[in-house]
């Protein structure tokens, strides 16, 4: 399995267009040691031919253009190597990029039944995906389940990889009507993924609410874990003047503090653990900061745009 990190920042990217926090201002004026990042986008392949996306970021078009492996190939008019997209939630940062893929290209979208309701009932703009011939095909995921994924329609062919799902959060985005929310399962609001191929596993959990510990067992056994690095501290947004909400209020387990990610992450984890979905206010973005050193000393890596991982 090959994994590419096309984008590693949280919503708004880094620097964020309307933010003048110490990090964003410092990156613009060159006073901190940091690198610009686009919004989180992950891609992977098990055969170097067909690629799958995890999420569909608002920066997806630019990210695809910057990735030679995702450019069209073959002789047909529409020959993108992108075969499918796994959607973790209905957050705009995970969903908006689908609109970049409306150009008459057929592919699979893997999502929970609740997420499909949100897209198909409340956001008719996504019906542009149906213009492809054949139209985009939606595959339903459960909040807890295992799905064998095939790369061809050959009868009797073994799955190329297995996708296992598990719940990460129980809150739907604010734009979803209360009426619709009442019809949907809370455990389908945000899900994580474990992808298994040839005895190796990739865990993807870029949004941890911290209200369950199911992810810790998977993190202990995965070969690569891409995990929520959004905020360093619970009060980070308040201290930087960006919001009155805490990290946990908006569904993210902070890295530091009591019961933070650094404390909860299993000490016996066998594989690489990489922080992703890093908010523009997070001090770990400053590569000379003590917080940056702290996560490295704890055994974590920090994702960056263009990061390439082989399993």
Backbone angles phi, psi at 19, to 5 degrees: -110, 135
pLDDT of residue 134: 82
Asked if the model's pLDDT at residue 146 lies above 90, the reply is: yes
3-class DSSP assignment, residue 111: strand
Cα→Cα distances 195→65, 66, 85, 148, 169, Å:
25, 25, 13, 10, 19
pLDDT of residue 262: 97
Mean pLDDT taken over the chain: 94
Backbone angles phi, psi at 283, to 5 degrees: -65, -15
Range with the poorest average pLDDT among 84-93, 188-197, 204-213: 204-213
Asked if the model's pLDDT at residue 109 lies above 70, the reply is: yes
Rounded Cα distance, 1 and 20, in Å: 39
pLDDT of residue 74: 67
Give the mean model confidence (pLDDT) for residues 125-130: 85
Q: Report pLDDT digits (tens) over 77-88.
A: 567 899 999 999
For residue 304, which of 24, 42, 17 has the smallest C-alpha distance? 42
pLDDT of residue 154: 76
Output the six-digit token pair for 92.
């705009």
Rounded Cα distance, 226 and 205, in Å: 6
Asked if the model's pLDDT at residue 293 lies above 80, the reply is: yes
Rounded Cα distance, 257 and 246, in Å: 13
pLDDT of residue 49: 93
Which are the contacts of 15, defined by CB distance < 8 A and separation ≥ 6? 23, 24, 25, 27, 28, 36, 280
Output the six-digit token pair for 277.
């979905």
Cα→Cα distances 66→62, 132, 152, 180, 225, Å:
6, 24, 27, 38, 24
Asked if the model's pLDDT at residue 132 lies above 80, the reply is: no
Q: Report pLDDT digits (tens) over 230-281.
A: 999 999 999 888 888 999 999 999 999 999 999 999 999 989 999 999 999 9
Q: Which residue in the block uniquely carries the two structure tokens 């206010």?
A: 281
Asked if the model's pLDDT at residue 155 lies above 80, the reply is: no
Q: Report pLDDT digits (tens) over 14-71.
A: 999 999 999 999 999 999 999 999 999 999 999 999 999 999 999 999 999 999 999 9
For residue 294, which of 283, 304, 303 has the smallest C-alpha distance? 283
Rounded Cα distance, 204 and 222, in Å: 10
Helix ranges (H only) for 105-144 are 113-117
Rounded Cα distance, 251 and 248, in Å: 5
Percent pLDDT > 70 in the chain is 98
Rounded Cα distance, 101 and 104, in Å: 8
Which are the contacts of 29, defined by CB distance < 8 A and separation ≥ 6? none
Output the six-digit token pair for 238.
């308040």
Categorize the per-residue pLDDT at 128 as very low, low, confident or very high, splitting at 50, 70 and 90. confident
Asked if the model's pLDDT at residue 144 lies above 80, the reply is: yes
Which residues on neighbouring strands pair with residue 37, listed in sequence order?
14
């Amino acid at each position: 399995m090959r994994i590419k990190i096309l984008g590693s920042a949280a919503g708004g990217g880094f620097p964020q267009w309307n933010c003048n926090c110490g990090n964003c201002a410092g990156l613009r004026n060159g006073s901190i040691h940091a690198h610009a990042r686009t919004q989180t986008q992950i891609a992977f392949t098990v055969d170097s031919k067909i690629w799958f996306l995890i999420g569909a970021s608002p920066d997806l078009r630019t990210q695809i253009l910057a990735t030679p492996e995702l450019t069209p190939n073959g002789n047909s008019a529409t020959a993108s190597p992108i075969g499918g997209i796994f959607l973790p939630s209905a957050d705009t940062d995970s969903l908006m990029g689908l609109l970049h893929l409306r150009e008459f290209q057929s592919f699979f979208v893997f999502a929970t039944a609740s997420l499909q309701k949100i897209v198909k009932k409340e956001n008719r703009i996504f019906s542009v995906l149906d213009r492809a011939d054949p139209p985009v095909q939606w595959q339903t995921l459960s909040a807890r389940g295992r799905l064998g994924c095939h790369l061809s329609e050959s009868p009797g062919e073994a799955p190329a990889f297995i996708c296992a799902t598990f719940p990460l959060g129980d809150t739907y985005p604010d734009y979803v009507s209360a009426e619709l929310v009442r019809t949907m399962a809370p455990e389908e609001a945000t899900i994580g993924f474990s992808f298994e191929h040839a005895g190796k596993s990739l865990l993807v959990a870029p949004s941890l609410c911290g209200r369950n510990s199911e992810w810790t067992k998977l993190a202990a056994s995965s070969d690569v874990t891409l995990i929520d690095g959004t905020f360093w501290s619970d009060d980070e947004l308040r201290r930087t003047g960006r919001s009155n909400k805490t990290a946990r209020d908006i569904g993210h387990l902070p890295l530091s503090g009591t019961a933070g990610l650094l404390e909860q992450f299993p000490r016996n984890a066998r594989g690489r653990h990489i922080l992703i979905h890093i908010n523009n206010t997070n001090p770990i973005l400053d590569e000379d900061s003590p917080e940056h050193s702290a996560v490295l000393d704890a055994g974590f890596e920090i994702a960056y745009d263009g990061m390439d991982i082989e399993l």
